Amino acid sequence: MRADMVRALLDQDAVTSESVTAAFAAVPRHRFAPEAPLDLVYDLHSTVPVKKDAHGLDTSVMSAAHLQGVMLEQSGIRPGMNVLEIGSGGYNAALLQELVGGAGEVTTVDIDRDVIDRARRCLDDAGYGQVKTVLADGESGVADGAPYDRIIVTAAAWDIAPAWISGLAGEGRLVVPLTVRGTTRSIAFDRDGESLLGRSYRLARFVPMQGQGAAKEERTVLLRDGVAVQSDDDRVRLDAPALNRALDTPRLLRWSQAAYDLPDELELYLTLNLPSAARLHASRDIVDSGLVEPSALLGVPALVSEDSIAYRTRRENDDTGGFESGVVAHGPQAEALARQYVELLQTWAHRHRRRGAAEIRYLPGPARGSLPRGMVPKRHGVVAVTWH
């Protein structure tokens, strides 16, 4: 089953290097999830629960092998490196130890005693006793062992902690699933003077950080049973009664004549460029009723005003065999919002419709004055995205 998993990782380009391939082939993944069925453990895209909270929500999981492979390739780890992992489960730390070899060092830290103790037991059981395990809040890094050539964060982070930057070696790299306006990407950041520059970013889903690095509280407003709008941007006004009334108005539908493909790239572009961005969520029952489009099932970038809302949809394009992007809008300002949204869809299609079009920079320190489009304030700095 391990060999089948490795072949599948190669077939899907989740792993591309000989070193990462060899690491996956060497580490017995099932030894880090002894309670889980083998078909779940070795499924390429499945997470394995490690711990849940009182509400039954996952607080710690073994990440999907596909995502682990992607992040390890982003990391570019070489033998002899000193690596810090923030968020522990044991298995990924064992993969890291395989990559750095006997001359390298791996430290893994977690805020939860149950999780770090379990990781310690699994690492020892699988023969990776040299990996250092630390019980601490990962927001503060692990000063005893810095500087690190690589820091790998395995939980969704709302911001980049100053300790992660100060803990990096001069040519170090930070790989972090960074959440910006409700959407998360695994970004490989390299030092660039006083800032961080990321050119590699991939779709990622993780359980959120705990402790001091926990996400800034998101505002979620319920419009009606099965429909909600969410934002973590204080500048975005969410008037639940007004937006709910908007949904009861006839829908305005506008088509862009722009192709709908590369959905993860398009979603990131919309999230960062809509002037008043939120995320619209709808349940299956609501979608089946026809009130909201299927694009909202997993959350869709929405443009909101005080009394209107617009979001993306798609339809089959008979001429190309693909799909065309469109916009659904409701409310008194539906026409204006739809027009803005369509213009963004067209700009994306004509100028940036490819993978890797975004250059993501992290600027430590407080935001100064009003920020232009494409710049998002965080707790410790600013995320600035340029599209090429």
Structure confidence by residue, pLDDT tens digits, 228-238: 999 988 889 99
Do the beta carbons of residue 82 and residue 130 sit within 8 Å?
no
For the segment 140-147, the average pLDDT, to the nearest whole number, is: 96
pLDDT digits (tens, 9 = 90+) for 51-83: 777 666 666 778 899 999 999 999 999 999 999
DSSP for 126-180, please give it: HT-TTSEEEES-GGG--STT-SEEEEEE-SBBSS--HHHHHTEEEEEEEEEEEEE
Do the beta carbons of residue 94 and residue 123 sit within 8 Å?
yes
pLDDT at 317 over 90: no
Do the beta carbons of residue 173 and residue 152 sit within 8 Å?
no
pLDDT at 86 over 90: yes
Read off the tokens for 315.
Answer: 């339809």
Residue from 60, 63, 75, 295 carrying the catalytic annotation: 63
The pLDDT assigned to 316 comes to: 92
The pLDDT assigned to 184 comes to: 92
For the segment 279-298, the average pLDDT, to the nearest whole number, is: 96
Cα–Cα distance between 220 and 228 in angstroms, integer?
7
Q: Which residue has the higher pLDDT, 291 or 205?
A: 291
Cα–Cα distance between 149 and 132 in angstroms, integer?
16
For the segment 34-53, the average pLDDT, to the nearest whole number, is: 86
The pLDDT assigned to 59 comes to: 66
Cα–Cα distance between 69 and 128 in angstroms, integer?
19
Burial 320-357 (b: 16+ CB within 10 A, else e): eeeebbbbbbbbebbeebbebbbebbebbbeebbeeeb
pTM over 0.85: yes
Cα–Cα distance between 363 and 65 in angstroms, integer?
31
Q: Which of 6-10, 56-60, 127-131 has the lowest mean pLDDT?
A: 56-60
* 178 pLDDT tier (thresholds 50, 70, 90): very high
The pLDDT assigned to 54 comes to: 66
Q: Is 63 a catalytic residue?
A: yes
Considering just the CA atoms, what is the radius of gyration of the chain in Å?
A: 22
